[in-house]
Amino acid sequence: MQNRTHNAGELRLKNVGECVKLVGWLENVRVVSKNLMFLVLRDFYGKTQLVADTQDIIEQVKLINCESTISVEGEVRERISKNPKMETGDIEVVCKKLEVLGKCKYNELPFEINHSTQVDENLRLKYRYLDLRNPEVKNKIILRSKIVAEIRQRMMQENFFEITTPILTSSSPEGARDYLVPSRNYPGKFYALPQAPQQFKQLLMTSGFDRYFQIAPCFRDEDARQDRSPGEFYQLDMEMAFANQEDVFSVIEKVLPPVFEKYGKFKKASKAPFVRIAYNDALEKYGSDKPDLRIDLQLSDVTQLLQDTAFEPFKNKTIKAVVVDNFFESRKFIENLIADIEVQAQNKIYWFKIDENNQLVGGISKFLVDIQTDLINKLKLKANTVVFVTAGDKKTAQKSAGIVIKKVGYSVKGHIDKEQYAFCWIVDFPMYEIGEESGEVEFCHNPFSMPQGGLEVLEKAQKDKQFALTVKAYQYDLVCNGVELSSGAVRNHDPEIMLKAFNIVGLGEEDVKQKFPALYNAFSFGPPPHAGIAPGIDRMVMLLLGEENIREIIAFPMNKKAQDILMGAPNEVSKKQLDEVHIQIKNK
């Protein structure tokens, strides 16, 4: 027991009369009289009340600041006034000997440990070692450890082998900015921290490994968000040889639901097979490729009905509607809700209501009088229903309606079943799109995904730009409760198909060889078909704990500005260090 007989969370009535030794942090001192003090001792496992009732011990305690580490020897006795909120609340330990093991020098702490979550985040991060002493904060990190261990065990039960891949590698164009590491031995050259083990895991498949996984660190120089940590994050990285999309789905559907049911805030999770929604259908039904299937709302297309009305903002626009029945909130509630939605959507939201007499009232209803009957029939409207309407180009209208669905689902009673984890697969992603800046055909997502239809469809796409936009890829996203946990794909392992795919976006064989030399060369030596995915560990733990801020489930996170306040990173280095790696700072 590491120089103690018990931990501070395990003593019970059965231990009364025993002489014990405890160690931990002095959390609290309550002075009852000059001859009696009650102390609270906290360690990793819990808390125990201590009693100081001799003059020697009392004088010692007076000299000790809270959060000092101490060792206590004494006798367990039953408490007269029990504390049902403490697991050890039936007993207390009468101090016979007390020793300071680690002194806290400060009378006042930066914050009260048990209320650390209520103070400024930067202050918490600066004193993260104190913040982590708070059982509420510490338990999130413990639970993360258990979740990762459970995932690892379940992956191994599915015959996956854990293989670690390099941290220092070469820079490659993978969509985000690299973290670069200058080379001391090769002036002017750089390593890069991997954005993901993508190429290495595909090389493992080419090497003959059948099922690979790792809890992989990934590094991307990106700005922070509530659901994305800047700098680094972890993912359950996996790849399977001789596999297709269905094989990947099968593994994930076996591994994740039991983990979510065991450790999640909600004890219900989707069973296999998860719902599968084509990308275009997701945008058309939910206004998002990350739908929250706990919400019972969908959008409807009302373009033909509404674009010829007298309401000018609908002219020559795509128009989407979200029908919300059993709506009994006030007009003020509707207006406040719309104001919040418009901030996020950056687009106008309109509304009207069907009253108890099945008449259109409120909002834009006066513009819809002539089509009232058609509108009620098409949308199957009934009394006490509110319809939210948005217009714009197709993409804008869909996105705005998607935000309506999410906001209304969370705000209006009766339209979301929160107590579950609702998984779905988004499939059939487009292979190509027209770039907003270039106006040319570009890869829509992962350039190494296998196109549906193979070489034949790519040859046709090369001749016809519009046809290229219809080509689908074997690419898929895993979504849970409106959160994207992962992207994955069946990989394009055929060099001929790969080159054709890159030709369509204007890149030739030399470009592919230069950007991805190892992968391209390896695929010339009999690569197997393979597929994989990489669900984000951080986002999974966020969902399981019901946290909205990703920094709450990371032991030592950076702040919103990608600064490590605790360690002082990023920081300046000496000229000698810069000279060794052949770097000169260019001042602005």
Tens digits of residue pLDDT in 473-496 = 999 999 999 999 999 999 999 999
CB neighbours of 585 closer than 8 A, spacing ≥ 6? 578
CATH of the domain at 40: 2.40.50.140
Residue 349 forms part of a structural domain: yes
CA torsion 86→92→97→103, rounded to 10°? 20
Are residues 507 and 561 part of one domain? no
- Rounded Cα gap, residues 478 and 290, in angstroms: 9
Are residues 406 and 307 part of one domain? yes
Residue-wise pLDDT tens digits, 75-120? 999 999 999 999 999 999 999 999 999 999 999 999 999 999 999 9
Are residues 314 and 408 part of one domain? yes
Higher pLDDT, 243 or 177: 243
Please, which pLDDT band fits residue 2 given cuts at 50, 70 and 90? confident
| Number of residues that this document lists for the chain | 588
**Burial letters for 298-308: b for 16+ Cβ neighbours within 10 Å, e otherwise?**
ebbbbbebbee
**For the chain, how many structural domains are there in total?**
4
Of all residues in the chain, what percent carry a pLDDT higher than 90? 87
Q: What is the pLDDT of residue 163?
A: 98
Please, which pLDDT band fits residue 512 given cuts at 50, 70 and 90? confident
CB neighbours of 455 closer than 8 A, spacing ≥ 6? 494, 496, 497, 500
Let me know if 49 is exposed, middle or buried by CB neighbors in 10 A (0-12, 13-18, 19+): buried
Pairing status of strand 385-392 against strand 318-324: antiparallel
Residue-wise pLDDT tens digits, 337-389? 999 999 999 999 999 999 988 899 999 999 999 999 999 999 999 999 999 99
Residue 587 forms part of a structural domain: no
Are residues 496 and 374 part of one domain? no
CB neighbours of 56 closer than 8 A, spacing ≥ 6? none
Cα-based angle 293, 381, 414 (whole degrees, multiple of 5): 40
CB neighbours of 28 closer than 8 A, spacing ≥ 6? 39, 40, 66
Stretch 399-409: mean pLDDT: 97
Q: What is the pLDDT of residue 227?
A: 73
Please, which pLDDT band fits residue 224 given cuts at 50, 70 and 90? confident
Residue 118 forms part of a structural domain: no
Q: Among 400, 416, 432, give the residue marking a domain's end.
A: 416
Q: Is the pLDDT of residue 175 over 70?
A: no
Residue-wise pLDDT tens digits, 529-580? 999 999 999 999 999 999 989 999 999 999 988 999 999 999 999 999 999 9
- Rounded Cα gap, residues 126 and 104, in angstroms: 17
The DSSP code for 254 is H
Are residues 140 and 254 part of one domain? yes
- Rounded Cα gap, residues 446 and 489, in angstroms: 8
Please, which pLDDT band fits residue 148 given cuts at 50, 70 and 90? very high
Q: Among 102, 126, 154, give the residue marking a domain's end.
A: 102
CB neighbours of 21 closer than 8 A, spacing ≥ 6? 3, 4, 5, 6, 71, 72, 73
If phi over 0 gives left and psi between -120 and 50 gives alpha, with beta otherwise, what is residue 582? left
Q: What is the pLDDT of residue 424?
A: 98
Are residues 540 and 467 part of one domain? no
Please, which pLDDT band fits residue 229 given cuts at 50, 70 and 90? confident
Q: What is the pLDDT of residue 435?
A: 85
Tell me the CA distances in angstroms from 451 to 14, 32, 156, 283, one per residue in order: 67, 76, 30, 21
Nearest Cα neighbor of 8 from 57, 49, 65 is 49
Q: What is the pLDDT of residue 1?
A: 63
Are residues 405 and 429 part of one domain? no
Stretch 192-221: mean pLDDT: 96
For residue 450, what are its two tokens?
A: 């296998």
Residues in a beta bridge with 31: 37
Q: What is the pLDDT of residue 174?
A: 62
Tell me the CA distances in angstroms from 248 to 239, 240, 385, one per residue in order: 8, 8, 42
Q: Can you give the residue range of the structural domain that contains 507?
A: 424-529
Secondary structure, 3-state, 404-465: HHHHHHHHCCCCECCCCECEEEEECEECEEECCCCCCEEECCCCCECECCHHHHHHHHHHCH
Stretch 134-140: mean pLDDT: 97
For residue 375, what are its two tokens?
A: 């509108």
Are residues 403 and 305 part of one domain? yes
Q: Among 355, 383, 416, give the residue marking a domain's end.
A: 416
Residue 112 forms part of a structural domain: no
Are residues 478 and 393 part of one domain? no
Q: What is the pLDDT of residue 230?
A: 84
Q: What is the pLDDT of residue 228?
A: 77
Reduce the DSSP state of residue 402 to 3 states and report it.
helix
Residue-wise pLDDT tens digits, 410-451? 999 999 999 999 999 999 999 999 888 888 888 988 888 999
Residue 385 forms part of a structural domain: yes
